[in-house]
Amino acid sequence: MSHDPVYVTRPYLPPLDELMPDFREIWDSRVLTNSGPYHQALEKALAEYLEVEYVSLFCNATIALVTALQALKVSGEVVTTPYSFVATSHSLLWNNIRPVFADINPVTLNLDPDAIERAITEHTTAIMPVHCYGVPCDTEAIQKIADKYKLSVIYDAAHAFGVKRNSGNLFAEGDISVLSFHATKVFNTLEGGAIVCRTPEMKRHIDHLKNFGFVDEVTVVEAGINGKMNEMQAAIGLHQLSYLDDALSRRRIIDTRYREALHRVEGVNCMAVFKDAASNYAYFPVLINDAYPISRDALYALLRENGIFARRYFFPLISNFAMYQHFPSADPANLPVASQVARQVLCLPIYPELNDEDLQRIISLVQNPTGGNK
């Protein structure tokens, strides 16, 4: 009995035949980048889809995060979450900013507003929260803190594309939101990302920053970077958008199957369903506790032996990487919830093309990890 390996995700792509006419047009025109027609069309389409006014495309979300901090002139210290992909904190180090880690809420796994407030010092200039797994942060509480201490807010919204919140547009929160269109994300342009901002001046500034700081042919005003998305990627993005609803509905079916099958398994906790927001079902994290017959790592290994590559996102915590451990806020005693969740979490495969047979194999293994009678 052999199966193809099942990874935690599989990039979704539109049919190649559909892309070819656009690729040919790009070839023939020789307009490959520098805000060409596809770039402009995708910025417009995304602004419509996200129901925001100002979108600036990037080559990836990490460069977009670095640029967002520059655009807002953030310096000193920034309060952020240890429970994220390492790019969140790396973007601070690239700007010579000190990350200050605050603990997370055990239900949403997002930054706990009280912990944010406790972490603020005279050097704090901004907060960088993450909508982890696409679950919206407590944006109201975070904005209150930001207003009280006059801080910028940059949301790392890399997980949140396609999330629709009832109580106001998630991407209109804070000063800037950063999206990732990496291959592994719900909406991908192979590599890619975007900044969503609130004013035309900010968009113009960001567009300069991602193009070396050029404001016209002969004028460079600051040390910008090359953060541009190219025309091929923008063309792919336009096609991806038309399949997004289908992709999300297949993800939703898989999410429901997992929940129905796992909610009664002792020792396995699924994430809560949040009534205020329609999920994008980007991830399917479960938390494995002591009531489960085997450890989280033993389940991870068992799945691997069966060709199923679940991932321990986010383990280790960013604050536990050797290069971050010297920051005082990285002390695990400061981050009890994040530390525990990182020991318990396992993200199960979820992607539109995950077939029913593979899904059932994963479910059976999680339901019965000892392979027999209990």
Q: How far is the CB of 363 from ligand PLP (least distance, A)?
A: 25
The span of 60-68, 118-126, 147-155, 333-341 binding ligand PLP (CB under 6 A) equals 60-68
Question: Mapping DSSP to helix (H, G, I), strand (E, B) and coil, where does residue 306 land?
Answer: coil
Q: How far is the CB of 222 from ligand PLP (least distance, A)?
A: 22
What is the layout of strands, in order, in the sheet containing 124-128? 54-58, 193-197, 176-180, 152-156, 124-128, 77-80, 98-101
Contacts of 331 (CB under 8 A, 6+ apart): none
Q: What is the DSSP string of 332-372?
A: GGG-HHHHHHHHHEEEEP--TT--HHHHHHHHHHHH-TTSS
Contacting ligand PLP (CB under 6 A), which of 174, 193, 237, 369?
A: 193
Strands (E), the chain: 6-7, 54-58, 77-80, 98-101, 124-128, 152-156, 164-165, 176-180, 193-197, 214-216, 219-220, 268-270, 277-278, 284-288, 308-309, 345-348
Q: How far is the CB of 6 from ligand PLP (least distance, A)?
A: 20
Q: CA–CA separation, 317 vs 175, rounded Å?
A: 26
Known catalytic residue: 44? no
Contact set for ligand PLP, span 108-167 (CB under 6 A): 130, 156, 158-159
**Which residue(s) pair with 54 in the sheet?**
197
Q: How far is the CB of 226 from ligand PLP (least distance, A)?
A: 14
Q: How far is the CB of 227 from ligand PLP (least distance, A)?
A: 11
Q: CA–CA separation, 69 vs 124, rounded Å?
A: 13
Contact set for ligand PLP, span 306-325 (CB under 6 A): none
Contacting ligand PLP (CB under 6 A), which of 9, 88, 110, 344?
A: 88
Place of tokens 């207003």: 147
Question: Mapping DSSP to helix (H, G, I), strand (E, B) and coil, where does residue 183 land?
Answer: coil
Contacting ligand PLP (CB under 6 A), which of 46, 87, 120, 137?
A: 87
Site residue total, ligand PLP (CB under 6 A): 14
| Residue number with CB closer to ligand PLP (62 or 67) | 62
Contacting ligand PLP (CB under 6 A), which of 85, 161, 284, 327?
A: 85
The span of 12-20, 49-57, 80-88, 207-215 binding ligand PLP (CB under 6 A) equals 80-88
Contacting ligand PLP (CB under 6 A), which of 35, 56, 81, 84?
A: 84
Q: Where are the alpha helices (DSSP H) in 213-282?
A: 231-262
User: Of these residues, 44, 144, 150, 185, which one is catalytic?
Assistant: 185
Contacting ligand PLP (CB under 6 A), which of 35, 89, 180, 240?
A: 180
Residue in 141, 18, 155 with CA at minimum distance from that of residue 80: 155
Q: Does 61 bind ligand PLP (CB under 6 A)?
A: yes
Compute the residue count for the chain: 374
- The torsion region of residue 292 among left (phi > 0), alpha (psi -120 to 50) and beta comes to beta
Q: How far is the CB of 237 from ligand PLP (least distance, A)?
A: 13
* Active-site annotation, residues: 185
Contact positions vs ligand PLP (CB under 6 A): 60-62, 84-85, 87-88, 130, 156, 158-159, 180, 182, 193
